[in-house]
Amino acid sequence: MLKACLNGSRGRDEHPAVPVTPAELAADAVRCARLGVGAVHVHPRDDAGRESLHPSVVAAALEAIRGARPGLPVGVSTGAWIEPEPAARVAAVRAWTTLPDFASVNAHEPGAEAVAAALHERGVPVEAGLWTVAAVEAYARWRVPAGRVLIECMAEDPTRALADAAAMLAALPAPVTGGPPVLLHAEGPATWLVLAEAVRRGLHSRVGLEDTLLLPDGTTAPGNAALVTAALAAGAR
């Protein structure tokens, strides 16, 4: 499964095609879905362009995407940079009026298991975001099941990112074939090499302006659809 990560924490100061409003997210989701992505991941923004977990902000993004492309799975982030206080993140999840199809929780962040538990209580599948081997070990102690594991290589150096991927995959508490589905991806300069590694290993992956602004040839991508097209050409499905 190839997921499109449409915006992340990026603003238009970094790329003019970063989708920010619900309508822009919906339009980009439709373009990527037509190319064949299996899901989209978005960071909803408030009227000032700030990432938000507020129920009305999350609902606006989800409803716009679902209205434009019914049936396309859409997930959101619960990153601590959006709301640093763990109790406030839990309260936000419990207050959501429109639920995503999945939500990512970074295992290394304070209160991660409590946020995951709040999502699980509401029937939202959890994506466990694992950035380091220590995060894999923290996730292994969770009492909350994950619907998917994200092996997220944050090192910019491609060689280091590949080594980190191998170490985290080896440290997973269950074999790749016996635990939750695994999605492997990187950011920045390591994006394309790690995506190729995901294809080689038969794992899910993702691509989009959240992770990289560049196509495999080093030129700036016009937008998310171009990145998805390049990923599909590289063998991602």
Full DSSP string of 157-185: SHHHHHHHHHHHHHH-SS-TTTSS-EEEE
Residue 71 sits in which domain range?
A: 2-233
Q: What is the dihedral of CA 24, 212, 216, 102, to 10 degrees?
A: -70
pLDDT number for residue 149: 97
Identify the residue whose tokens are 């635990």.
179
Domain count, the chain: 1
Q: What is the CATH number of the domain that holds 91?
A: 3.20.20.70
pLDDT number for residue 235: 87
CA pair distance 112, 78, nearest whole angstrom:
9
CA pair distance 159, 19, nearest whole angstrom:
31
CA pair distance 129, 124, nearest whole angstrom:
15
Residue 5: count of CB within 10 angstroms of its CB: 26
Dmax over CA atoms of the chain, in Å, equals 44
Query: What pTM, to 2 d.p., does this model score?
Result: 0.96
pLDDT number for residue 176: 64
Please, what is the end-to-end C-alpha distance for the chain in angstroms?
A: 5
Q: Which of 127, 175, 174 is nearest to 151 (CA)?
A: 127
Pair 198, 161: CB distance under 8 Å: no
Helix (H, G, I), strand (E, B) or coil at 129: strand
Tens digit of pLDDT per residue, the chain (237 long)?
Answer: 999 999 999 999 999 999 999 999 999 999 999 999 999 999 999 999 999 999 999 999 999 999 999 999 999 999 999 999 999 999 999 999 999 999 999 999 999 999 999 999 999 999 999 999 999 999 999 999 999 999 999 999 999 999 999 999 999 987 666 789 999 999 999 999 999 999 999 999 999 999 999 999 999 999 999 999 999 999 877
